[in-house]
């Protein structure tokens, strides 16, 4: 699976098919599911910070039918402006990929569309460590014109490591990071396949992303597990 896949209003619709549920795992002891590798990463992070004590997974993987229902219900209850700001179009939601999770503080009443996930306390700790486990805050404040979605401090997307840390420290969103990688296609060192695994090696120039040593550093992403 390509964990860097860009999903937004302009992207191709998310494909659903037979066996889709087989690559999902539940998180937080709930009926919220994520793609297997994303779920394992989230559980490791939560175990490190004892996160499930105060945080709950509000929404994870959604079927195309469920995303359509959420869109239509929000239209009826909240109107078009609100819905376009906080709900992705059916077929264009990261939740349909299983790579996105909405998190909220554990409360008696939780807003399904806009759960409370502040920048301090246990939520702040999660946010600080999330990139080391492959997660990014997908829709930060100030990037609404780029992402096409309003500020959503509760929505986290799994893109894997080291990309999550590079993107976060660069102050980019996935649209910008994907464009940067595309511009650097000439710096792809090699791609090879072994069984069901592919590995792509990127050489990223210094000045565009943080590098740890030397003028050029090689980063690796794993996909297709």
Which among 149, 146, 161 has a CA at the least distance from the CA of 95? 149
**pLDDT tens digits, one per residue of 115-152:** 999 999 999 999 999 999 999 999 999 999 999 999 99
**pLDDT tens digits, one per residue of 83-95:** 999 999 999 999 9
Rg (CA), the chain: 17
Question: Does the structure show a pLDDT above 60 at 220?
Answer: no
Going from the N-terminus, what domains does the chain have, and what CATH number goes with each? 20-160 (3.30.1380.10)
Torsion of CA 102, 108, 111, 114, to 10 degrees: -50
Three-state SS for 99-126 is CEEEEEECCCCCCCCCCCCCCCHHHHHH
pTM, to two decimals: 0.83
Q: Grade residue 192 by pLDDT with cuts at 50, 70 and 90.
A: very low
Cβ neighbourhood burial of 121 (10 Å; 0-12, 13-18, 19+)? exposed
Residues with catalytic function: 152
Question: Does the structure show a pLDDT above 60 at 170?
Answer: yes
**Token pair belonging to 137:** 């805050």
pLDDT, average across residues 169-195: 72
- Measured CA to CA in angstroms, residue 175 lies from 39, 155, 199 at distances of 23, 16, 21
**pLDDT tens digits, one per residue of 57-100:** 999 999 999 999 999 999 999 999 999 999 999 999 999 999 99
Cα separation of 134 and 102, whole Å? 15
């Amino acid at each position: 699976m390509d964990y860097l896949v860009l999903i937004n209003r302009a992207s191709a619709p998310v494909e659903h098919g037979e066996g889709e549920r087989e690559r999902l795992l539940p998180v937080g002891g709930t009926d919220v599911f994520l793609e297997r590798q994303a779920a394992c990463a989230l559980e490791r992070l939560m175990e490190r910070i004892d996160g499930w004590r105060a945080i709950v997974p509000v929404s994870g993987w959604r079927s195309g039918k469920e995303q359509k229902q959420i869109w239509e219900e929000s239209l009826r209850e909240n109107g078009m402006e609100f819905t376009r700001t906080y709900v992705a179009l059916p077929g264009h939601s990261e939740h349909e990929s299983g790579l996105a999770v909405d998190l909220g503080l554990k409360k008696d009443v939780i807003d399904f569309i806009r759960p409370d996930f502040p920048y301090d306390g246990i939520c702040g700790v999660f946010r600080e460590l999330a990139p080391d486990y492959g997660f990014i805050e997908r829709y930060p404040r100030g990037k609404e014109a780029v992402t096409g979605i309003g500020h959503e401090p509760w929505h986290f997307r799994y893109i894997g490591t080291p990309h999550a840390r590079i993107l976060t420290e660069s102050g980019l969103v996935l649209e910008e990071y994907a464009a940067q990688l595309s511009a650097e296609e000439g710096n792809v060192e090699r791609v090879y396949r072994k069984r069901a695994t592919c590995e792509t090696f990127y050489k990223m120039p210094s000045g565009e992303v943080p590098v740890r040593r030397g003028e050029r550093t090689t980063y690796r992403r794993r996909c297709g597990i």
